[in-house]
Chains A and B, each alone.
Chain A
Amino acid sequence: MSASELPTPHPTLLVPGDPGLTVDGVAAALAAHGYLADEGLATSIFLALVLHRPLLLEGEAGVGKTEVAKVLSAWSQGPLLRLQCYEGIDISQAVYEWDYARQLLHLRAAEASASMGAAEDEVYSERFLVRRPLLTAIDHGEGPPPVLLIDEVDRADDEFEAFLLEFLSEYAVTIPELGTFRAARPPIVIITSNRTRDVHDALKRRCLYHWVEHPDFEREVAIIALRAPQAVPELGRQVAAAVEQLRGMHLYKPPGVAESIDWTAALAALGQKRMDERTIDLTLGTVLKYQEDQNRVRAEGVEQLVRSALQRGA
């Protein structure tokens, strides 16, 4: 494929590194890639880009934290590198690992040809290195810098946070056998957390911070219209209204934006142009993922939910 065949960024949009970038410019670019950010989020993304700082996004499940990184990657055309955190994550999953199987084979082959001495050095060369997201993020080649997504950092533990802090200050990684890798241009870094526990202050201070709220009614309507265009607009408004109400019900898992979109799509697929009790009952599982929550809502009356959704969504 020649360079001219590569997709080019949206012609009217500036790239993330452009000096003429503004908050409105960021919001417009995200919207062009299917993400509707409010002013607070757009400002923090703008600042992350121009100040070259990682951005920590915290908020409830499904408010669109992870999606920010995906959209930034689409916009900047930098590859998306995703590191999913979990309890006990360590360097070998986050940064690099040696490919033992291939190292072993190599040694065996060398043994057969009686060149062991050289082989011992060779097995610790880049050929046998398995690169994980953090190493790839700083050791990228030409082209736009990657977007590094460190997802759900609250699931990792203190040791890993301490390591991240160091990584995000230096953008460098030292591999004892090979030396130090350092980023010529730092990646764009998005860190997300559901706040199942507090991220350490020092790490927070390294980052810009934004608490992501559920979108307000009109924004949610717009997001649904964008992501489920097959549904008639009234249906989207009614779903947004119903979801807004569900969020106020102290459910085990309140629905996020993803659920609004799925719900609208499900209702549209059933040929619905407006909400009614029967189809809500049929599709409740797409918006409430816990049996307990579904029972709650059914017990309190689907009828009432429909009534106020129709009213508000009108």
Chain B
Amino acid sequence: MSSRAAPTGAAATPLVAPERLVAGFTRALRRVGVAVATGSAVLYAEALAKVGLEDPDGVYWAGRATLVRRPEDVELYDRVFTAYWSEVTPLRLTQTQVQPVTLALDEEPDQEEIPDDDGPTGPDGDIRALRWSAVEVLTERDMGTLTAEEWAEAQRLIAALRISTELRPARRTRSSRGRSGSYPDLRRTFRLNVRHGGVPVERAWREPVERPRRMVFLLDVSGSMEDYSLAMARFAHAAVSSRRAGRVEVFTIGTRLTRVTRQLGRRDVEVALRTAGHAVSDWSGGTRLGDCIGEFNDVWGVRGLARGAIVVICSDGWDRGDPERMAVEMGRLSRVARRIVWVNPLKASPGYAPLARGMAAALPYVDQFVEGESIRSLEHLAALVSGAPGGRR
């Protein structure tokens, strides 16, 4: 870390009290998108009191330990660190100075709670206001052709979709009435029968709980796919708000792999997808689906994120990379995923055949190949991921 800029003592730089420094630094981090809670900022101040301010490496690592909570943020942290700490010279930080840390931060409230299952429910009400026939028409329309107004309406319709995911058995159990598939619950049986001297007069049973499977979305954001992928991101968000769907993860693919799960449900998901997409147009030759899926496999998929999950890939399969790579990576993915659903809006066009090289290479590993160009086909997709009859395996 010798290259790290030391907080210099140059006379020109202002002397700033440590708690202001911490507040300023965390604000700068938030500005670039690193989520820093107030509690973490306070912890950083405490950590600085222990490592001191003289050694830039200590200042750096104390921040890494207290303010950064995921490796993706390290790069941003590094950038802000260099920019910020080379600007200011802190007062010497001693323990007594730091004790009553009152950080005057412009705060969003700090949420310390783990939300329970009762997450937000989908919007309702305003949909009914739309004239039935208008809705009917919109659901059939190709989403690549909507006006801004229609698109807004379409988003509302997607948000209202009821999405549940196929169930998997979990190891956790719950009390039951002793139907088939149950087994005796010793703990409760004993407790029920203490009065009978432990003779099991009444019996208690447990049965395995079933849980919804995880869903992973890989959304192609190259030029022609943008609108459909955005619709899929809304679809993914509708799944997040549904109590009957499993955990949801969303990534964009195209020229590179980007995780956008955190932006989901915020306005920036649109920004995130569009920026990712603007890096590439269809004929620029930049789309590398195989590489992106490979990166997903390496970094997330085979490590467990895709294991037992329902993976939904939304792409036209137009790939400038090596089809061999595509086949290899799809093979790896299919070995860990529960099933792979490929959504290709082009499939809705009359006479479509999967001739794009990438698409042809991927197809043998795809369990279900569906359209997804309209809201109607998203409804169909919702039925698919719920494991409704007709789903394979």
Contact = CB atoms under 8 A, between A and B. Distances in A.
Interface of A: 23, 39-40, 43-44, 46-47, 50-51, 53, 58, 60, 86-88, 90, 92, 97-98, 100, 103-104, 107-108, 110-111, 116, 120, 123, 154, 157-159, 161-162, 165, 194-198, 200-205, 208-211, 250, 252-253
B46 to A, nearest CB: 6
B146 to A, nearest CB: 34
A124 B113 CA distance: 33
B68 interface: yes
B61 A204 contact: no
Contacts of A104: 190, 198
Contacts of B197: 107-108, 110-111, 116
A209 B68 contact: yes
B107 to A, nearest CB: 14
B285 interface: no
11 contacts: A39-B1, A40-B65, A47-B51, A47-B66, A90-B172, A107-B197, A123-B194, A154-B304, A157-B170, A165-B114, A209-B69
B171 A87 contact: yes
Given A47-B51, A197-B304, A204-B69, A53 B61 contact: no
A108 B198 CA distance: 7
B93 to A, nearest CB: 15
A88 B51 CA distance: 40
A88 B170 contact: yes
Contact of A46 (B1, B40, B50, B111): B50
Contacts of A201: 35, 37, 69
Interface string B63-99: 0111011110010000000000000000000000000
B261 to A, nearest CB: 8
Contact of A210 (B1, B47, B65): B65
Nearest to B298: A250
Nearest to A116: B197
B307 interface: yes
Interface in B122-170: 170
Nearest to A252: B302
Contacts, number: 119
Nearest to B197: A111
Contacts of A157: 170, 172
A306 B86 CA distance: 44
A218 B214 CA distance: 40
Given A47-B51, A47-B65, A88-B172, A205 B112 contact: yes
Contacts of A111: 197
B305 interface: yes
Contacts of A23: 51, 58
B42 to A, nearest CB: 11
Contact of A100 (B51, B112, B187, B298): B187
Contacts of B47: 47, 51
A120 B68 contact: no
Contact of B39 (A51, A90, A200, A205): A205
Contact of B37 (A86, A107, A205): A205
Contacts of A200: 114
Contacts of A44: 61, 64-65
Interface string B39-63: 1100100110011000001100110
B114 A43 contact: no
B278 interface: no
A116 B298 CA distance: 62
Nearest to A203: B114
B74 A103 contact: no
B376 interface: no
Contact of A43 (B43, B46, B61, B194): B61
Closest 10 CB pairs of A and B: A196-B304, A88-B171, A43-B61, A88-B172, A44-B65, A107-B198, A162-B114, A211-B71, A104-B198, A204-B69
B303 A43 contact: no
Contacts of A154: 304
A46 B64 CA distance: 13
B318 to A, nearest CB: 23
